[in-house]
Amino acid sequence: MKILFAALLISAPFVTSAAAPVDPIVPGKDYHSYADPSAFRVRHLELDLTASFEDQRLSGVADLTVTRISPDANKLVLDTRDLVIRQAWWVKSRSDLVPVRFTVGARDAMLGSPLSIDLPAEAKASELVIRISYQTRPEASGLQWVPAQLTADKTHPFLFTQSQAIHARSWIPLQDSPQVRMTFDATIRVPAGMRAVMGAESVTNPLELVPDGVFRFRMPQAIPSYLVALGVGKLEFRATGPRTGVYAESSIVEAAAKEFSDTEQMMEVSEKLFGAYRWGRYDLLILPPSFPFGGMENPRLSFITPTVIAGDKSLTSLIAHELAHSWSGNLVTNATWRDLWLNEGFTVYLQNRIMLAVYGERRAAMEEALDLQIVRRELETNPPSDQILAIDLRGRDPDDAFTQIPYIKGALFVSWLGSRFGVENVDRFLQEYFDHFQFQSIATEQFRAYLEAKLLPQKAGAVTQAELDEWMLAPGLPKYAVLPTSDAFDKVDGLRTDWLSGKLAAAQLPGKDWTTHEWVHFIDGLPKKVPANQLTEIDEAFALTNAGNSEIAFSWLRVAIANEYSPAWPRLENYLTTIGRRKLIKPLYEDLMKTPAGAERARAIYAKARANYHPIATTTLDATVHKASKR
């Protein structure tokens, strides 16, 4: 079945300012790339890069195999950001390199600079190879050069990439759009004793250290640029199953392998529900704590924050999430960043299905209930136009615009379909959807057309067009959304009320038996102001200020800030200077900014911490901390 969508024009809903008329969004058009995939398409990439930690540079060549889509196209436009382009050639044959003229356009703060390459008149073939010699700059937004003292072992530095959403262009010149897929080969040269890993198949033996520091990789499945990934560190490997394992620095590799020992089982469950795993192996790379995200679903090798190594597997939903992207996202990809909800919303749904199968009903219900609280808060604090699943991101940096709305509202939409059509039918529909669109990138409108063609006829009248419109185009959550509940949380709610009213002493709470989820729910449900003596009482009973679990500590520190609970200040500073995961630090800075004394504390801590953060985090946090300093 072929679905036509390009001709569909929809207007941006809920435009608030009457002054500026907004052009209708063209579904499937990528507003975040200079490339024109209707002129040329990159099909294959061959990289040969040397990593210099001294200079904080990647340097080498990229060979791009491009297909000419439009017969008279003679200018190839690529995306770059802060790259130093040295030279470019048309590779006429292996031994015949023809220099080509190129220009690097003006730098746009969000998009970077277009690299326009004029192809010689002679280069008429429908398939061409263009070679670009280049190097990155130390400030490349998609790279973090982590000094040894900020790694787990503190003996060697660490380099990692983060290409999503539009940072691949800061380390490779390419068509940086999720609708262009390519295969790749790579040779990565690193200092002797260190190991390079990529989201790809290892050609060099992955278990032996390569004495000359030259690592080779091959990616036989075509992937979008945002999934191209590289890590370099003093890494070890531990298997967790026949197809799964972890790469980490030596001091944390055992703990990581233990924490994530359920990964193989998660894979088995996912395959049963959603079809074959198409990518060979599934390994994890544990990054330094400055990694700005929880996880990143790089194919074959998810990148993972060390802040989820809690010691009790309580935060492994992150692994279920990144693994689930092997279907929703990596196999079927969003065509543009507006369509991110197709990636992330479906992934949260899959994640919940995996968690239910591996850990059971009680935990799965608690996790879904926690997510509901999160999305409720996001819906309260975001304007209506940002509450829509297919968000209008034109003129906005996708990094700053993403909230939990496409994630959790997206998952609630799929769960709601389950309530109307039956969960098993929806799972089967998703499996067929992944098969149908595998290795393609699709827009919201294509998904809807497929849904209407394949799922809706299974039970006529089960959902209406008006309901689908409301889910996809309206802000907020529909009244008829089916919301998760948790009995365990209901109990916690009762105990919290009793403690707050003085009926129960803190020591009488069954906190020792609570899971991470129950603690987070308990703390998040506290009123804005809690009397100082009660904060002291509960902290003394359960050592919350010193909680090692990154999520419990996060929730508690928010309470501490709101109540100016000073015993937590050293922990707050320690937390903010050692963790760079944006989701865990940005709200703490925002909370601090609400009072003059807090703003002062935020600025003082930020001055110390900023150098340790990733460029993706500082871009956001500079705005947060700076804004309030002007008030």
Catalytic residue numbers read: 322, 407
Residue 476's contacts (CB-CB under 8 Å, 6 or more residues apart) are 379, 384, 387
Closer residue to ligand BES in complex, CB, 78/355: 355
Tell me the closest approach of the beta carbon of residue 410 to Zn ion, in angstroms. 10
Tell me the closest approach of the beta carbon of residue 43 to ligand BES, in angstroms. 24
**HSE-CB for 483 with a 13 A CA cutoff:** 13
Asked if 518 interacts with ligand BES (CB under 6 A), we say no
Q: Give the range of 60-68, 261-269, 291-299, 619-627 binding ligand BES by CB under 6 A.
A: 291-299
Asked if 236 interacts with ligand BES (CB under 6 A), we say no
Closer residue to ligand BES in complex, CB, 112/294: 294
Q: Which of 609, 596, 372, 362 is nearest to 486 (CA)?
A: 362
Instruction: Give residues 346-385 in contact with Zn ion (rule: CB under 5 A).
Output: 347
Strand ordering across the sheet containing 75-80: 75-80, 113-118, 102-104
Q: What are phi and psi of 300, to 5 degrees?
A: 70, -15
Tell me the closest approach of the beta carbon of residue 246 to Zn ion, in angstroms. 19
**How is residue 226 written in tokens?**
């945002």
Strand, coil or helix: 27: coil
Q: Which does 514 bind (CB under 5 to 8 A by kind): Zn ion, ligand BES, none?
A: none
Closer residue to ligand BES in complex, CB, 553/568: 553
- Indicate the residue type of 536: T
Three-state helix/strand/coil letters over 457-483: HHCCCCCCHHHHHHHHHCCCCCCCCCC
Instruction: Give residues 315-344 in contact with Zn ion (rule: CB under 5 A).
Output: 344
Which residues sit opposite 615 in a β-bridge?
Answer: none
Per CB under 6 A, the list member of 178, 245, 294, 475 interacting with ligand BES is: 294
Asked if 153 interacts with ligand BES (CB under 6 A), we say no
Per CB under 6 A, the list member of 297, 397, 445, 518 interacting with ligand BES is: 297
Tell me the closest approach of the beta carbon of residue 249 to Zn ion, in angstroms. 24
Q: Name the burial class of residue 1, with classes exposed (0-12), middle (13-18) and buried (19+) by CB atoms within 10 angstroms of its CB.
A: exposed
Give first-to-last CA distance, the chain, whole Å. 57
Asked if 33 interacts with ligand BES (CB under 6 A), we say no
Q: Which does 177 bind (CB under 5 to 8 A by kind): ligand BES, Zn ion, none?
A: none
Q: Which does 318 bind (CB under 5 to 8 A by kind): Zn ion, ligand BES, none?
A: ligand BES
- Indicate the residue type of 273: L
Asked if 344 interacts with ligand BES (CB under 6 A), we say yes
Asked if 158 interacts with ligand BES (CB under 6 A), we say no
Strand 143-146, strand 75-80: pairing = unpaired
Tell me the closest approach of the beta carbon of residue 346 to Zn ion, in angstroms. 10
How many residues form the binding site for ligand BES (CB under 6 A)?
Answer: 15
Asked if 68 interacts with ligand BES (CB under 6 A), we say no
Closer residue to ligand BES in complex, CB, 259/297: 297
Closer residue to Zn ion in complex, CB, 201/344: 344
Tell me the closest approach of the beta carbon of residue 581 to ligand BES, in angstroms. 7
The reply to whether omega before 256 is within 30° of 0 (cis) is no
Residue 67's contacts (CB-CB under 8 Å, 6 or more residues apart) are 40, 41, 43, 126, 127
Asked if 295 interacts with ligand BES (CB under 6 A), we say yes
Tell me the closest approach of the beta carbon of residue 498 to ligand BES, in angstroms. 32
**How is residue 525 written in tokens?**
């449900």
Q: Give the range of 76-84, 87-95, 315-323, 458-466 binding ligand BES by CB under 6 A.
A: 315-323
Q: Give the range of 17-25, 230-238, 318-326, 468-476 binding ligand BES by CB under 6 A.
A: 318-326
Per CB under 6 A, the list member of 243, 362, 558, 583 interacting with ligand BES is: 583
**How is residue 171 written in tokens?**
């380390």
Q: Give the Cβ contact number of residue 105 at 10 Å.
A: 14
DSSP state of 212: T
Q: Give the range of 107-115, 120-128, 345-353, 525-533 binding Zn ion by CB under 5 A.
A: 345-353
Residue 178's contacts (CB-CB under 8 Å, 6 or more residues apart) are 30, 224, 225, 226, 333, 334, 335, 336, 337, 441
Asked if 410 interacts with ligand BES (CB under 6 A), we say no
Strand, coil or helix: 499: helix
Judged by the rule CB under 6 A, the positions of this chain that interact with ligand BES are 164-165, 293-297, 318, 321-322, 325, 344, 402, 407, 583
Judged by the rule CB under 5 A, the positions of this chain that interact with Zn ion are 344, 347
